[in-house]
Structure 1
Amino acid sequence: MRTADAPKVPVQVVASALLELRRLAGKPSLDQLVRLTKQQGPRWAMPRTTIDDKLHGRSAPKVEHVLALVVAFRDYATAAGNPLPREFCDEGAWRSECVAMDRALADPRSHDYRGMVARDILAAREGHTDGTAPPVTASAEPSETAWVEHVLRTVGPETAGKELPPKDATAMANVLQAAGRTEELGRLLRAAAGRSAHDVLTMSEAGGLDIGGQLIRLALEDHSIARMAALVTEAEHHHADGAVGLIHLGVRHRPILNVVNLIKTIHTNGGSPFIGEILSAGLRGRSAREVSLFLIGLRAAKMRDDADVLLYLISLSHDKNELLNVISCLKERHRYADATKLRAVIEPLWWRRPPRPR
């Protein structure tokens, strides 16, 4: 078959590439593919009819179908001593292929679809290209810039930011930043900011200070307590410095009662080692009235331990006048116990002094 006659319908492009990958692997039988997909776990197991259906393009495959078949071909070829080219089996590339395929299926111009990794596999089969990609060999490394360009043309920066695997979306962001393409970078990051807490923090960590900082700021534009609580909880599994920065950015401008409810939500979700950091961030730049409301709010929510930690943090202030203002606000709201403890910080023996003679 000549390249000019290659299939252009998205499902057929992907199916043809999978059939070619099966041929390169040594053409495992359907029964062998059933066994190889089953070995990958329940999520990836495929019956004969589904495998045959997807290989012949009778219906659009899910990303799980594509990945299961690619891994099955790879494992079969490796066991036979004839490993497939690494770039033909890259999970991120095939996930991107599926995103592009789904987008093309919703586009009336999908008859022009050429594929991504599928395009390279079909081009390698012909031994030449149609001018859109260089020939791919077992030792060739796909061009990251060319991949980015193709993804942007196929699905656009918003879909790439929302749906590509985190590492691939971050790699694309880095390429766009290096090329000075700030408008497309901004669109990608804004779309990525709506992803799960895990994906946002994974991308932020991999993207470095600049891209990571932009992404976190965009994610924090969602001011909901649930979103911030999810980010703080997830931060426990990431680099501590990044978690501290996230907390200070996300807490310092929130209303005090919102911060109290955030802490309460985090406790309800199982707690976090960063509660103390939230308490500290919640104090920064606050007026005496806000500080007193913070302490009162924690007491009212029956978070005694957190209130005691906050009281200790307040007592560390070196501004005597500020502490006196906090004490005054506490007294106005009849919180005499906490006011007395703070007063003792300013004048540890004030209550022992004899009364002044009248």
Structure 2
Amino acid sequence: MSESKLTEQLKRLRKLSGSPSARILEKLIERQGNDRVMSKSTIQDKFSGKSRPKAVHVLALVQACGEYAASIGVELQPEELSVQTWLARVAALDEPPSKSATTTPAQVASTSAPTTEESSEGTHLEQMIPPLLNAGMTQVAKLVREGSGKPLEEWLPATLAAMSRAGMNDEEAQKVAIRASASQAVKILVELELYGDEDAANRYFLNYLSRQSPHQIPKLLVALRMDNSEAAPYYADRVIDTLSGKNRDIATRDDLAAIIRSLRAAHLRRDADNLLEGVGKYAWPRAALKTAAEFPEDFLGDREKILYSAGEAGPKRLALFFHALIESPISGMAPDQVLLHLFTGVGAKNADSAAEALTQLGLHEAASQLLLWRDKT
């Protein structure tokens, strides 16, 4: 790619952004940090093609144009402001005529091109900054900008707490926050609690728990239990209840069986058993049945624990499972075997009262099957 073509692309972005003046761009770039400061004349040179564009200058101009566009209500497509795209364009520049040039396109690509994960995080950070500037939260915007490449726990708690107090949407910040490791997530939670913002802490906890892969759940649970802060045990106690659906805090995950296996692999047997019971008692019946189906039929095994707990939870819960079975059978689960385990949870002593409750709910067949099971027991 020629320098003139890159210059044209920069000029096009400037026009799409609302044609900010060089003076305005200079002020916006000043906020990005000392390593990006550009004079008004240097900015004019970059747009006129008088000087070779460097990666740091191109990224500074792109970010400034994006901030200006947001400030005047101009919506740009994400690809127009993509760090990865602009770095690729700089890397694709033709070799300069001078042999004494110190930076080649290949060097730019090898030293500046971000990984996919870094690029994704950078995009979220870029999208966080314009709303903060528009809301007059320049110090928080600076904190976010300077946070790039730093450990999340060093700057993210203050950012989340500030956005929460201001009543701002923190979706982009949450997308960055869920990338934290288990130990980092605990530090972020504890810091948010220290800021006195329980709402922000709770929102982060639920987002993190709902989006982590199954093998991360044991790590989070253990990290919370090993932390010495006052807040950590509270969140540790909530992990299993939240995953099971007891409090309806998050949507029922479709990989509960994988989470249970991960807990067992980490020798967290009690937590695995508690989650099995919780799934039976609280998860949506269809999800609970699908989770049970992922475990083999085994006396007092994981499948049985889920179904037994569902029956133990009472007639209304039993009725929901019966409806779910009627509406759509679960592959790999024989209905008669499912009912057997559900009835075992009800127990022979409670069969009469449960059958009566089922009858009142209009489930006469289920009531009859329950009484028949009791008579054979």
- The TM-score, its normalising length taken from structure 2, stands at 0.49
Check the 8 A contact 2:132/2:138 in 1, yes or no.
Answer: yes
Instruction: Compute the displacement of 1:149 (Å).
Output: 5.7
Other structure's SS at 1:227 match: coil
1:222, 1:324 → 2: CA distance? 30
CA distance in 2 between counterparts of 1:109 and 1:191 reads 21
Could you tell me the percent identity over the aligned residues?
6
1:273 aligns with 2:281: no
Question: Which residues in structure 2 correspond to 1:224-235 (within 5 Å)?
Answer: 227-228=251-252, 231=253, 233-235=254-256
Residue 9, structure 1, aligned to residue 33, structure 2? no
* Matching of residue 59 in structure 1 with residue 66 in structure 2: yes
2:180 partner SS: helix
Please state how far the C-alpha of 1:273 moved relative to its aligned partner: 1.9
State the match for 1:107 in structure 2: 135
Q: Is the 8 Å Cα contact of residues 260 and 294 (structure 1) preserved in structure 2?
A: yes
Offset from partner CA, 1:227-270 (integer Å, 9 cap, x none): 32xx1x1335545337775564455257xxxx445568x69xxx
Indicate if the aligned counterparts of 2:281 and 2:309 stay in contact, CA closer than 8 A.
Answer: yes
Q: Is the 8 A contact 2:221 2:236 kept in 1?
A: yes
Mapped pair 1:80 → 2:80: no
After superposition, the Cα gap between the structure-2 partners of 1:329 and 1:113, relative to the gap in structure 1 and judged at 3 Å, is closer
1:163 aligns with 2:175: yes
1:103 counterpart letter in structure 2: P
Q: Which residue identity is paired with 2:307?
A: L
Which letter does structure 1 place at the counterpart of 2:154?
A
Query: Which TM-score applies when normalising by structure 1?
Result: 0.51
Structure 2 residue aligned with 1:340:
372
CA deviation string 1:315-358 (max 9, x = no partner): 546954234655676789355455334422x2xxxxxxxxxxxx
Letter in 2 for 1:273: E
Call closer, same or farther: CA 1:326–1:7 in 2, change over 3 Å.
same
Equivalent AA in structure 2 for residue 55 of structure 1:
V
Q: Are the structure 2 counterparts of residues 297 and 71 from structure 1 closer, same or farther at C-alpha, using a change threshold of 3 Å?
A: same
Paired residue secondary structure (1:167): coil
| Two-structure CA RMSD over aligned residues (Å) | 5.7
Determine if contact 1:145/1:175 at 8 Å carries over to the other structure. yes
1:98–1:321 distance in 2 versus 1, CA, 3 Å: same
In 1, Cα distance between the equivalents of 2:309 and 2:128?
Answer: 42
2:211 is aligned, of 179, 193, 198, to 198
Q: Secondary structure at the match of 1:80?
A: helix
- Aligned partners of 1:260 and 1:298 also within 8 Å: yes
2:89 and 2:247 mapped to 1: Cα distance? 41
Gaps of 5+ in 1: 1-5, 20-28, 34-50, 122-140, 347-358
What SS does the aligned partner of 1:309 have?
helix
Q: Relative contact order (C-alpha < 8 Å, sep 6+): which is higher?
A: 1
Question: Given the superposition, is the C-alpha separation of residues 177 and 10 from structure 1 closer, same or farther in structure 2, using an over 3 Å criterion?
Answer: same
Q: Following the alignment from structure 1 to structure 2, what is the Cα–Cα distance between the partners of residues 237 and 215?
A: 15
Closer, same or farther: CA 292–13 of 1 in aligned 2, 3 Å: closer
What amino acid is aligned across from residue 58 of structure 1 in structure 2? C
The equivalent residue for 1:321 is 349
Out of 176, 197, 201, the residue aligned to residue 184 of structure 1 is 197
Instruction: Give 3-state SS (helix, strand or coil) of 1:98's partner.
Output: helix
CA contact (8 A) 2:308 2:341 kept: yes
Paired residue for 1:146? 154
After TM superposition, the structure 1 stretch with the greater mean CA deviation from structure 2, 313-322 or 80-89, is 80-89
What is the aligned length? 279
AA partner of residue 193 (structure 1): L
Say whether residues 1:301 and 2:333 are aligned partners: no
Change beyond 3 A, Cα 1:106–1:56: closer
Task: Show the counterpart of 2:338.
Answer: 310
Residue 162 of structure 1: SS of its match in structure 2? helix
1:101 CA drift (Å): 0.8
Deviation at residue 194 of structure 1 after TM alignment: 5.4
Contact between 2:161 and 2:200, CA under 8 Å: does it hold in 1?
Answer: no
Separation of aligned partners in 2, 1:104 and 1:214: 32
Counterpart-to-counterpart distance in 1, 2:86 and 2:272: 38
Aligned-partner SS, 2:371? helix
TM alignment of 1:40-55, pairs within 5 A: 55=62
Q: 1:196 to 1:153 in 2, by over 3 A?
A: closer
Q: Which amino acid aligns with 1:13?
A: Q
Distance between the aligned counterparts of 1:203 and 1:324, measured in 2?
Answer: 44
Match of 2:220 in 1: 207
